[in-house]
Each structure stands twice: as C-alpha cells, then as structure tokens.
Amino acid sequence: MTQFVFYAHSGWRYVVILATVVAVVLFAAGLIRGRAWGTWPQRIGLALPIVYDIQLLLGGVLWIMASAWQLSPLPAWEHPLTMLVAVGIVHVAWMRVKTAAADHTKFQMALIGALMAGAVMGLGVWRMTSQ
C-alpha cells in the first residue's frame, strides 16, 4: 500500500506542475491583456488549490505510512513543511481573489499566488532531491 501511495504522490506532482504552469500563463495573459475575469480563470483558480490539496493529502498519508524514512531528520521535516507553506499560499491567494472586486486585482492576486506557490513548491522539491 505504501508503494501505491508513493507512486500516486510521485505521479500527481506532474498534475500539480501542469496546473501551476497553466494558471500562471492564464493569469499573466489576463493581467497583461486586461481581460475580464471569466469562467476559465475562475475554474483554473478553483482547481489550483484542489490539486495542491490532493498532493498534500497523498504526501501526508505517505509521510505517516513510511514513518521510517531513509533520510536525515531535516529533509524528513523540511519537505512536508515547505509543501504545507505552498498549499497555504495557494489558499490565501484564492481567498484574496474571491474578495477582490476589480478583474485586474483578481488576475494580479491569482498570478502572484500561483508564482509564489510554484516557487516554494519547486524549492521544496529541489531541496528534497539535492540531499
């Protein structure tokens, strides 16, 4: 079972990366072109926290199931905490988007949140693989 969750967590990362890239491109294009916040930005903005949450859930289950990690204690705690911060950034950004009135502000908040979460996520994965 642990191996299944490991492969699910490892495979789902590509969905997270793809969703983040699509969100960044869509939000940047909307911001640059001055578009109205419509159906697609709303769907992508809603999907991004869900995709991150699924990855966090899989990682948390894996972390609990594989309690005897082969890593030193710092990476064993650093990676989950970094990913938790990335998920938090996505959620805070989405809450700010939902409360923003102007379309320009929605695109701006969504873009900043997706970029920050992607950067933190990338840093956490890089630190995990560089150990």
Q: 89-107, pLDDT tens digit by residue?
A: 999 999 999 999 999 999 9
Q: By the 8 A CB rule, do 103 and 36 touch? A: yes
Confidence of residue 65 (pLDDT cuts 50, 70, 90): confident
Task: Measure the CA–CA gap between 84 and 82, rounded to whole angstroms.
Answer: 5
Task: Measure the CA–CA gap between 128 and 126, rounded to whole angstroms.
Answer: 5
Task: Measure the CA–CA gap between 27 and 107, rounded to whole angstroms.
Answer: 5
Confidence check: pLDDT of 56 > 80? yes
3-state SS assignment for residue 63: helix
Q: What is the mean pLDDT of residues 6-30?
A: 95
Residue in 23, 26, 14, 41 with CA at minimum distance from that of residue 113: 23
Which of left, alpha, beta for 20 (phi over 0: left; psi -120 to 50: alpha)?
alpha
Residue in 5, 126, 114 with CA at minimum distance from that of residue 49: 114
Confidence of residue 79 (pLDDT cuts 50, 70, 90): confident
3-state SS assignment for residue 38: coil
List the domain boundaries for the chain.
2-129
Task: Measure the CA–CA gap between 116 and 119, rounded to whole angstroms.
Answer: 5
Amino acid 43: pLDDT: 96
Task: Measure the CA–CA gap between 51 and 19, rounded to whole angstroms.
Answer: 8
pTM: 0.90
16-26 confidence digits (pLDDT tens): 999 999 999 99
